[in-house]
Amino acid sequence: MTDAKIRLFVDCPLGAGQGVALSEGQANYLFAVMRLPLGAGVLVFNGTDGEWLATVAEGGKRTGRLVCLDPARPQVMPPDLWLLFAPVKKERTQFIVEKAVELGAARLCPVQTRFTNAERLRVDKARAHAIEAAEQCGATFVPPVEEVQPLDRLLSGWPEGRRILWADESLITTRQTLAALTPGPWAVLIGPEGGFSVEERDRLRAHPAVVPVSLGPRILRAETAAIAALTLWQSTLGDWT
C-alpha cells in the first residue's frame, strides 16, 4: 500500500475514513487500464485538504470507491501569481497550461488580444489538462482556468494591488526591472504569436499595475515566453527560494 504511485484529483472532501466516489473515467483508468486490485493504494488530493493515501474499497469498469486512510502530504498553495496568456494553437496552448501548473501558477487567465489568432479555446479541455498536470507533478493544488476575456475588459476591471509583469518583446533590458520587483499579488502577461498592437502597448504602458519586462534579446515563442517569465518571477519572488 505504501508504494501507491497513482495520484488522482478528486472533487470531494478528504479526511480519515472518508469515502471517495470515482468518476467513470477514473474507474476505467484504475481498474481497466492499471488493473488495481481491491486494497491497492492510491494517492488523492482535492486542492484544499492536502494529499491522502486511500485504498480501493470497490472497483468496477465504470464505478469505484476509495476510502481515505492517512494524510500523506499537507496542502501547499502556490504563490499568488496568475498567468495571463493569449491562446495559441491547440497543442501549444495545452503545453502552456501544463507548464504553468508545473511552475506553480495560481490561476490561468486566457486573454483575447488584437492579434490572438487561435481556434476557440476549449476551457473544459484546458481544465482537464491542468488537473492532469497537477496529478503528474505532485502539486496538491489545481489552478482554475478562467473563460477567455478580452484584454481591454481585463485591464479595465483589474483588481487593485495586483501588479502585471508584462513580457514586452520590444524592450531590451530587464535587469533593472527585476531587481525592483517587490512581493505581493502578481500576474504575468504573455502576448500572442503576433505580439501586441500599438494601441495595446499604449494602454499597457499607461496602466498603473503594469511593469514591463524583457525576456532577453531574442524573440521567444509565446509558450517559451510563458515558461521564462514564470521562472523569472518564481525564482525572484516565488516559492523556489
State the virtual CA torsion across 22, 25, 30, 33 in degrees, nearest 10: 170
Query: Is residue 199 within the footprint of ligand SAH (CB under 6 A)?
Result: no
Query: Is residue 201 within the footprint of ligand SAH (CB under 6 A)?
Result: no
Binding ligand SAH (rule: CB under 6 A), the pick from 178, 220, 231, 236 is 220
To ligand SAH, the closest distance from the beta carbon of 51 in angstroms equals 34
> Residues 61, 28: contact at Cβ < 8 Å?
yes
With respect to ligand SAH, which residue has the nearer C-beta, 8 or 222? 222
Query: Is residue 225 within the footprint of ligand SAH (CB under 6 A)?
Result: yes
DSSP readout, 126-182?
A: HHHHHHHHHHHHT-S----BPPPEEHHHHHHTPPTT-EEEEE-TT----HHHHHT--
Binding ligand SAH (rule: CB under 6 A), the pick from 4, 169, 197, 231 is 169
Query: Is residue 87 within the footprint of ligand SAH (CB under 6 A)?
Result: no
Binding ligand SAH (rule: CB under 6 A), the pick from 15, 60, 138, 194 is 194
Where do runs of H (alpha helix) occur along 160-215? Answer: 175-179, 198-206
Residue 196 to residue 115: CA distance in whole angstroms: 7
Query: Is residue 216 within the footprint of ligand SAH (CB under 6 A)?
Result: yes
Query: Is residue 196 within the footprint of ligand SAH (CB under 6 A)?
Result: yes
Query: Is residue 22 within the footprint of ligand SAH (CB under 6 A)?
Result: no
Phi, psi of 214 (to 5 degrees): -95, 150
Q: For binding to ligand SAH (CB under 6 A), which residues are involved?
A: 167-169, 190-191, 193-196, 214-216, 218-220, 222, 225
